[in-house]
Amino acid sequence: MRHRSYRRRAGRPQIPVDLPRSPRNFVLSQLRTHFERAMLMHVRNRSLHCKKHCGATLWHLHHRDGIRSRTRMYTLYSMQRSGNCYKVRLALAQLRIPYRLVEIDILKGENGTPEFRAKNPSGRVPLLEVAAGRYLPESNAILWYIAGGTPLAPDDRFERAEALRWMFFEQNSMEPSIGAAYFWLTLVRGGRDLKMHAIEGWTESGYGALGVMEEHLETNRFFAADRYTIADIALYAYTHIAEQAGFDLSGFPSIRTWLRRVAAQPRHVTMEWSPTLLEAAG
């Protein structure tokens, strides 16, 4: 037989509430709830007084699939001037998710060490450690993981597919052209001479991709769900540095307007920005 109690609500009649079969289980569940709330408040208050990010474990609140859960602090292996890594840092900043940042300089071969290869056999960054010994590579996969259950990730089935469409487009059309040109022509010493044969192909493919984006933005403010999402973050990463890679954006007014719109989003950070500690929302 189930026990019944009554919950008082202001301005409403008393409503019977079914309680667990065992009073002992009910008491334990209430104690657990109060304990968890107290622990979360303790962690939040401590995080607000942290002055410097060291190596200590910090817990934070994170929404995923509509459920608030406690998650161990992430560790992000990143290269500062990588567009793919910038995507993840931007999303983490805008979601106010704290994380440890480990700089991996691929130009010095730091991604090829046995220690790093043990974490990610492909040797690529970004790489997100989501739990002890559990690693997630690939920038767009990371975006979906950290943004799930937040406004940055669409809930509607079609809108999610729309976001995926543009994120696939970014990896298949933008990153191999504008991203490659940016890497070899601005980051690699002597890269222009090494890749002279590829520049024409990058240029043609890059302008083709920009044309597709321009056409979409002529009638849309963003790329999916009619609002700012991780699809915009993914496309912004290399588009906003396209001119550094030799692409002229003067003929793409809708893209230039969109770039300003993205840069005006709350908690936007630049590619040059590097955190010591990003506190969780409080």
Q: Do 175 and 84 form a contact (C-beta atoms < 8 A)?
A: yes
For CA atoms 45, 48, 52, 54, the dihedral sign is positive
Using CA atoms, how far apart are residues 216 and 170, in angstroms rounded to an integer?
Answer: 14
Give the 3-state secondary structure of residue 132: coil
Model confidence pLDDT, tens digit, residues 60-72: 334 433 333 445 7
Q: What percent of the chain lies above the pLDDT cut of 70?
A: 72
For CA atoms 110, 143, 176, 264, the dihedral sign is negative
Q: Where are the domains of the chain?
A: 4-47, 59-147, 157-263
Model confidence pLDDT, tens digit, residues 96-121: 999 999 999 999 999 999 999 999 99
Model confidence pLDDT, tens digit, residues 229-252: 999 999 999 999 999 999 999 999
Check pLDDT > 50 for residue 268: yes
Q: What is the pTM of this model?
A: 0.74
CATH 3.40.30.10 describes domain 59-147: yes
Check pLDDT > 70 for residue 206: yes
Domain 157-263 -> CATH class? mainly alpha
Topology match between the domains 59-147 and 157-263 = no
Q: Who has greater pLDDT, 264 or 3?
A: 264
Model confidence pLDDT, tens digit, residues 147-158: 999 999 999 999
Burial class (CB in 10 A: 0-12, 13-18, 19+), 57: exposed
Model confidence pLDDT, tens digit, residues 32-81: 444 444 444 443 444 333 333 333 233 333 443 333 344 579 999 999 99
What per-residue confidence (pLDDT) applies to 276? Answer: 60
Average pLDDT over the chain, rounded to an integer: 81
Query: Which amino acid, one-letter code, is at 118?
Result: A
List phi, psi (to 5°) of 47: -65, -30
Using CA atoms, how far apart are residues 66 and 148, in angstroms rounded to an integer?
Answer: 8
What per-residue confidence (pLDDT) applies to 230? Answer: 99
Say how many C-beta atoms besides its own lie within 10 A of residue 154's C-beta: 21
Burial call 161-171: b when 16+ CB within 10 Å, e when fewer:
ebbbebbebbe
Q: Who has greater pLDDT, 5 or 262?
A: 262
What per-residue confidence (pLDDT) applies to 84? Answer: 98
